Amino acid sequence: MSERRMETPMRRVFGLGSASGGTEHWWGQRITSVALIPLSVLFVIPFIGLLGAADLAAVKAHFSQPFHAVIAILFIFTTALHLQQGLQVVIEDYVHSKFWRMFLLLTNTLGVTFLGVLGVFAIAKMAFAG
């Protein structure tokens, strides 16, 4: 007796499930969430000491230390990635017009990428300022 499969021909060709990548996206969000816990602590705790009592020179000196600069860049990169993934889910779930969905997904990707690059540039400028 032949076994009937509940797959579409396209699913058999590409090996995709119904979400066609939802699992990777879900794991990506969980990994960035977990990574942000220690990165937030390592970024925020030293930065709290700079608030109020510090001037721009003290902030530049703080980020000129390689450890603090790398933590800040990892924090910005991970936050940007997590933000992009989260906004993507909201857009895909609640925007039903194809035009607006594509426009907002493109705007999300470009906007978050711009903000991430801007943040990394700011940290790099302070880190490499003599």
For the segment 76-129, what is each residue's pLDDT rounded down to a tens digit?
Answer: 999 999 999 999 999 999 999 999 999 999 999 999 999 999 999 999 999 998
Task: Kindly give, in sequence order, each residue whose CB lies less than 8 Å from that of residue 95, ignoring residues fewer than 6 positions away.
Answer: 101, 104
- Its pTM stands at 0.79
Question: Cα Rg for the chain, rounded, in angstroms?
Answer: 21
Q: 91, 108 in Cβ contact below 8 A? A: yes
Average pLDDT over residues 27-44: 95
**Amino acid identity of 64?**
S
Domains annotated on the chain, with CATH: 23-128 (1.20.1300.10)
Q: Which of 112, 128, 126 lies closest to 78, judged by CA?
A: 112
